[in-house]
Structure 1
């Protein structure tokens, strides 16, 4: 996220997660703590790639204002700073040991 922000890419206040990892509430809570963002999980992520492409096209032609429609935002994890310090420390250690990942 910090690299995206540094490059000028607009980063919102929330993240929509899809795929295998998004089925774990704990994993979503970790992401929320480390990214300091609310996390929303798309309930049916089977066609998430297709939905994402359609959303980008709809925004590009002006048919839709929001890249992630409200109907995609389900099963929310609201950011809480409670575990932020712990997860951030673990994340820093992981990055030190795996520099190829970012």
Structure 2
């Protein structure tokens, strides 16, 4: 399983717009082939910083999503709201304790 972590930074006035768009698109992302989990986090100290965590079957599934019309639509809209360059990491989950 591949875990994708993306850090997104927004101008404060754009936070409601981002959250509304995420609400509208989250089920489409989650139902993309190979996606197993989608989570959104907001930084406790800086409300303009968000993180998405998504679990993918493998890198191929993630790349297929990133090359999809859905991703293009979401990214074209979202990138206009940023106040800093997004950062992303693909990591392999080694341990998870419940």
TM value normalised by structure 2: 0.27
Larger Rg: 1
TM value normalised by structure 1: 0.27
Which structure carries more helix by proportion?
A: 1
Which structure carries more strand by proportion?
A: 2
